[in-house]
Structure 1
Amino acid sequence: MRSNEQSPAQDLPKQTRQQDFLDLTVQEQTRILQQQQDILNRVAQGHDAISICEQICLFGELLVPNSAASIMLFDEAGLTLNVFAAPSVPEEVVRLLNGLRPGPGAGSCGNAVYRQQPVYVRNTLTDSRWQDIRHLAEAFNICACWSVPIRAKNGKVLGSFALSSFEHRLPNAFHQKLLELAANLVSIVLVQQRTNDQLFLAGKVFENSMDGILITDPSRQIISVNRAFSDITGYPAEEVIGKNPSLLSSGRQDSEFYNNMSHAIRTAGSWRGEIWNKRKDGKHFPIWLSINGIYDKNGNITHYLGIFSDISEIKRLDHIIWKQANFDYVTGLPNRNMFHERLDQDLKKAQRKGEQVAIFFIDLDHFKEINDSWGHGMGDLLLKEAAQRLRESVRETDTVARLGGDEFTVIINDFENERSIGRIAQNILDKLAMPFYLEHEMAYISASIGITLFPDDAASIEALLKNADHAMYAAKNEGRNRFHYFTPAMQAAAELRRRIANDLRTAIAGNQLQLYYQPIVDLASGSIHKAEALLRWRHPEKGFISPEVFVPIAEETRMIVEIGDWVFRQAAKQVAVWQAAYHRDFQISVNKSPVQFLIENRAKSSWIEYLREHQLGEHSIVVEITESLLLDANDRVTKRLLEFRDAGIEVAIDDFGTGYSSLSYLKKFDIDYLKIDKSFVHNITPQSNDMVLCDAIISMAHRLGIKVIAEGVETEAQRDLLAAAGCDYAQGYYFSRPISAPEFEASLLDGASAEDSRPFQNGSEKRPDADSLKPSTSLEEA
């Protein structure tokens, strides 16, 4: 027995190892050449690869009697072999051979691929090269097997061609040439099949592409177009074949454009970009075009390929998106984004030319009342009309923008002098003060304008906008319907607000916040079992800072949520003490900012939980809110008010009568108290309009089951008039200033009785001197 390690060639007789085609008989050569010619004809005719490969197998079987031919190819991963064609091999054998992994014991095919050389096995039952699949040889009487690799043009092994014999034998020179020829033919078939597939796919892509495609010869005459070309341009293929693509020219691009295009194609081999073309019907349309030169192996251009897509819809949508991103949808004015872009350009231009720029910040006065009274639809109509009036008040070279809500800005470029700016501002005020005819309604508004100048006031956009904003608020504070120039004092005030905001962040942790209490007197009995908790801030350096100063800052910075929660807990602790020591029905009112309602937080639930945990009875706490909160009440506000009601927390409307309302909310919400604003109480006399209003408020409230508290009572006469009108409670300096909890307790211990309705005043007829406790009344004093 031969060694299993012998090379494949050693299994052959010496005289047949180096046989050439010329060693074959004429008859053998003729048969091979005829079969080769027949197969190549089928390849040229585009026959199916499998059918051709099966013919190759049958040809091999015909020339080698008592044998079966098979072709195995690698899978896509290049790891295992599968049968591609084997017309005479039983299906069961095919199934067992599929997934064959090449290796030293993987049979003739597995070895030929593994070693990348022909493998001729005379006896499959004893040869070690068949040890892994010997069961196939035994089961199907495979005695011998000859296999050669199938290679691609680059030499890569694609698979194997094999002849399995049912008798023990080795191939002669003719057989070897037959195997070599068959492997080469299979390689040709596979390569051609891949080429055909690629050509078929390319043809399908060409014809079914959504992009228009045209191919020209080197002289730029069109030789082929696809269906999309005709769909996009309106030209059928027969009308453009042989013509120059210039028939599509719209005339929008000049000769320099086309010269640059030609230069790019000559030097770089391609060009791509946006261009306007003309359809057959004469309409212009934009396309995105790519042009590539096609080169032969010598580097000469043989064709030009143009691929284009109609981008009309993309440009339309881009314009819509750009407009939505840069213009206000209600007024059509530039929005905040476009305003910033234009202002940046105007400032750079002014800086180059040494010119000035004026920025107006315009806020419509009382616009909210229009929305509240007539709805947002009418409000939008007013905004549109206001925008038109603003446009008419300035030049076309100036910019009018809407920043949002009822806020507008104007950029005035290259103006003559400051007086001309004043004239423009006054013209705007006059136009906006004219009546607005909104469908069947007539509305009146005014405006407050803040003005800042570049480069005098500031050099950056951010600083200029802050300046204009400060100046606008100054105009509002001076009574509205006016304009105000920015001054350095405003900047100082803004800086002071910033410092106060920073200091306020540490006020709670630093125990700087305190609660003072002002008694609420029962006018019928003179007894006191109510008080309003009032927030005070004793700054370690500045002393007392007025709530009028720091509360708006706390609201702007959203610190009011944390501060409000602290106020509630302090008041709840205090009411528990006073209920136990003085009156079991004692009640404390706390103010709740609208900002606390509008910001999502757990304060509302924790307040209720806190009352339950400390076993405080119902009606221990009153939450005071403003009319404006109810005018804008959304589902969140409504839900929280109902939660307070269900938990036994009563609700009072503070500063009642100063809002702009139909009072319909009194029917909607379960309100416990109305607090008459001190502006009505201050000048009350028996026959005054204020007395009439107070009497009307009291009467209306009682009919709705609501009790009334009068604020700002400072004289005995005011007290008596309110009591005679049936007012339930009163508070004010006539009874007591806001005082600390120990002072409040001391006064209660002194004995508050119904006989003396000023129990906290110790008999004094004068309003108490509270200079030591009086908070600052302005930001400057703070």
Structure 2
Amino acid sequence: MNGHGTYSGVNAANAVQCTQDRLQRVLLVDDHGENLAVLDAILSDCGAHLLQARSGNEALETLYREEIALVLLDVNMPDMDGFEVLRAMRANRRTRDIPTLFLTAYARDEQEIVDGYRHGAVDFILKPISSAVLRGKVQQFLELARYKRERERVNDLLAAQKRYYESMLNAADEGVLGLSPDGRVHFANPTALRLLAAAPDQLLGANFLEIGQPPSANGADWQNTVFYRYWKSRRALRLTDTLLRRMDGETLPVALSCAPLPGAESGSVIVFQDISQQKKMEEQLRQQAVTDSLTGLLNRHGLKQALAGCVQRSARSGRHLALFFIDLDHFKDINDTQGHDVGDLVLKSVAGRLKAALRAKDVIARLGGDEFTVIIDDLEDVEHAALVARKLLNTLSAPFEMRNHSLSTGACIGIALFPDNCNDTDSLMLAADLAMYRAKSLGRNTFEFFTPELNARAQASMLLEQGIRQGFDNHEFSLDYQPQFDTAGQHIVGIEALLRWRRHNGQVRPDVFIPLMEQTGLINQVGEWVLEAAVKQRRAWQLSGQLPDHCPVAVNLSPRQFNNPQLAPTVARILERHALPPALL
């Protein structure tokens, strides 16, 4: 420490040891110490760490213990000569590749030179030893040893990288295939083998066309496939939904990408992912979107899709199509007296009876509540629709046995025909709906066909609905306020907001437009506007003092508005927005 000899001597010794550890080791083997001294002197500046052994056994012990780059081995030694040492070295996996130079006398050891080469010596140094020759050969072998070590290091690094990338490919959840330029599989990771249900000998060497027929392929020629065209143009191909053929004959839906490998003559790599679960989920979601969850029948959305297809087929075939709208009788009474659980059981039973009564190809749907629809296509004549309607009425009129109760219901059916009554799906549904309401007005357990009279009413309803929408947008609706008086004292005790529709050609009666609003669902939008306008006006009268604080405004609501779960939040929001006390509404 601080220049004192003890520590600096230790540090110097450590530095020498570290330097020696980094140097290549050369083993000098000779039973004469003076020969070892000569060799040590000649090679002291060759850049190697020199080790010495005085016998064959000592040499082998050193070789088995140390990493030796080169051995200089005397041939003639007592107990174990150089040939025996070399044979022992070649028999040991650790030492068999260490280069060995024999030291021998030229005059009498010519045969020994031949024997040495036969036993595996790489060269000879002839005695008397030339310093220049010895140093030159030792440095050459040390340089070769350095090259060998560097090559081994690079090979080890490449092998580690190969193992790393192979482990990634093997662990990947996607299938990976390597293709030659002619479309043959020369690599497949374990996931690819599993997804394709293939053994390595089945897949490796196979033409990719045996696995999947590429899109837009003309014939079975690889050069005609889209994969080859993309590879030829050095572009990557991505297919989000395609099929591969498994070795067990099944098909596998996959998302697939194919990219060219570097090099003009190299092939391509295909990475594919199993999307069968995704496809299954999509199909389930699609089914849920068009299926009624209670009965398993089509819902309104599914009915519209099916009806559009049936109309197209009927238009091509020239045959009739009948659309039935079915409304159950007395179902509300069942729900009210027996509860919704029993009501749901009845609805399921109705679905089952309709399936049993109709053909397998007939379409059945539940629109909601107790309303069902049936599509009968391929009709030979109109009378056949009437026969089906009577059959359905008889089927639905039989009592339902539910939880020890015999429940009776019936149905009213409205029937619209294509192309007789309407030429599009929306008009056909409206016509069947109008016919069904006509049947309900005539009594229970009956059916009605759509008629020109109903058509005229339907047209009028459609025009009126359009007028309501346009009138609402054009601010043709307003509120009249009718006062309510205390008859004893003739004091005003309340006011009632009344909706009025005033058009340029006169006023439309509420009993004309309000039922249509309820039927079309416009009542929710208009009803919210009525609430907003009445509350706003009542707040203005409160601020101006024109009405006493005990005088509320009354607003009429449709029963359909009470079915809207947003009614209460809407009322609360409007009251809060205009700061009107709830008691004044």
TM-score class, shorter-chain normalisation, is 0.5 to 0.7
Describe the SS at the equivalent of 2:246: strand
Contact 1:291 1:307 survives alignment (8 Å): yes
- Find the counterpart in structure 2 of residue 413 from structure 1: 377
Deviations 1:414-433 (A, max 9, x none): 11222211221232223223
Contact 1:277 1:285 survives alignment (8 Å): yes
Structure 1 residue runs without a partner (length 5+): 1-24, 50-192, 614-643, 650-782
> Which residue among 339, 346, 349 is the counterpart of 2:313?
349
Which runs of structure 2 are paired with 1:231-380 in the superposition (5 Å)? 231=194, 240=201, 263-268=220-225, 270=227, 273-277=242-246, 286=252, 288=254, 299=265, 312-380=276-344
Contact 2:486 2:493 survives alignment (8 Å): yes
- Find the counterpart in structure 1 of residue 472 from structure 2: 505
Contact 2:320 2:381 survives alignment (8 Å): no
What is the aligned-residue identity percentage? 26
- Find the counterpart in structure 2 of residue 591 from structure 1: 556
TM-score (norm 2): 0.57
- Find the counterpart in structure 1 of residue 16 from structure 2: none
Question: 2:289, 2:491 → 1: CA distance?
Answer: 60
- Find the counterpart in structure 2 of residue 430 from structure 1: 394
Report the residue type matching 1:323 in the other structure: Q
CA-CA distance at 1:527 after TM superposition: 9.1
Report the residue type matching 2:224 in the other structure: T
Describe the SS at the equivalent of 2:220: helix
Report the residue type matching 2:308 in the other structure: D
CA-CA distance at 1:399 after TM superposition: 1.0
Which runs of structure 2 are paired with 1:461-480 in the superposition (5 Å)? 461-480=425-444
CA 547–604 in structure 1, closer or farther in 2 if over 3 Å, else same: farther
CA 446–570 in structure 1, closer or farther in 2 if over 3 Å, else same: farther
Deviations 1:32-85 (A, max 9, x none): 976764454334424489xxxxxxxxxxxxxxxxxxxxxxxxxxxxxxxxxxxx
- Find the counterpart in structure 2 of residue 539 from structure 1: 502
Contact 1:529 1:585 survives alignment (8 Å): no
- Find the counterpart in structure 2 of residue 514 from structure 1: 480
> Which residue among 515, 522, 538 is the counterpart of 1:552?
515
Deviations 1:729-774 (A, max 9, x none): xxxxxxxxxxxxxxxxxxxxxxxxxxxxxxxxxxxxxxxxxxxxxx
CA-CA distance at 1:412 after TM superposition: 1.2
Tell whether 2:518 aligns with 1:561. Answer: no
The CA RMSD over aligned residues, in Å, is 5.2
Question: 1:388, 1:289 → 2: CA distance?
Answer: 40
Question: 2:539, 2:442 → 1: CA distance?
Answer: 40
CA-CA distance at 1:383 after TM superposition: 1.8
CA-CA distance at 1:211 after TM superposition: 3.8
CA 40–211 in structure 1, closer or farther in 2 if over 3 Å, else same: farther
Contact 2:185 2:204 survives alignment (8 Å): yes
Question: 1:506, 1:288 → 2: CA distance?
Answer: 51
CA-CA distance at 1:486 after TM superposition: 2.8
CA 275–297 in structure 1, closer or farther in 2 if over 3 Å, else same: closer
Question: 1:430, 1:579 → 2: CA distance?
Answer: 61
> Which residue among 394, 398, 405 is the counterpart of 2:358?
394
Deviations 1:482-533 (A, max 9, x none): 33333422322313421441465279x5585434467787xxx999976783
CA-CA distance at 1:400 after TM superposition: 1.0
Contact 2:218 2:224 survives alignment (8 Å): no
CA-CA distance at 1:587 after TM superposition: 7.5
Describe the SS at the equivalent of 2:372: strand
CA-CA distance at 1:391 after TM superposition: 1.9
CA-CA distance at 1:292 after TM superposition: 7.8
Question: 1:361, 1:394 → 2: CA distance?
Answer: 15
Question: 2:204, 2:575 → 1: CA distance?
Answer: 84
CA-CA distance at 1:477 after TM superposition: 3.7
Contact 1:571 1:590 survives alignment (8 Å): no
- Find the counterpart in structure 1 of residue 405 from structure 2: 441
CA-CA distance at 1:456 after TM superposition: 2.5
Which runs of structure 2 are paired with 1:563-578 in the superposition (5 Å)? 563-567=530-534
Contact 1:275 1:286 survives alignment (8 Å): yes
Describe the SS at the equivalent of 2:169: helix
Question: 2:204, 2:580 → 1: CA distance?
Answer: 91
CA 236–526 in structure 1, closer or farther in 2 if over 3 Å, else same: same
CA 371–278 in structure 1, closer or farther in 2 if over 3 Å, else same: farther
CA 441–38 in structure 1, closer or farther in 2 if over 3 Å, else same: farther
Aligned residues: 431
> Which residue among 195, 202, 217 is the counterpart of 2:165?
202
Describe the SS at the equivalent of 1:559: helix
Question: 1:520, 1:449 → 2: CA distance?
Answer: 50
Contact 1:221 1:242 survives alignment (8 Å): no
Describe the SS at the equivalent of 2:401: strand
Contact 1:516 1:536 survives alignment (8 Å): no
- Find the counterpart in structure 2 of residue 141 from structure 1: none
Structure 2 residue runs without a partner (length 5+): 1-131, 229-238
- Find the counterpart in structure 2 of residue 228 from structure 1: 191
Question: 2:203, 2:491 → 1: CA distance?
Answer: 106
Describe the SS at the equivalent of 1:466: helix
Contact 2:243 2:251 survives alignment (8 Å): no
CA-CA distance at 1:407 after TM superposition: 2.9
Describe the SS at the equivalent of 1:330: coil
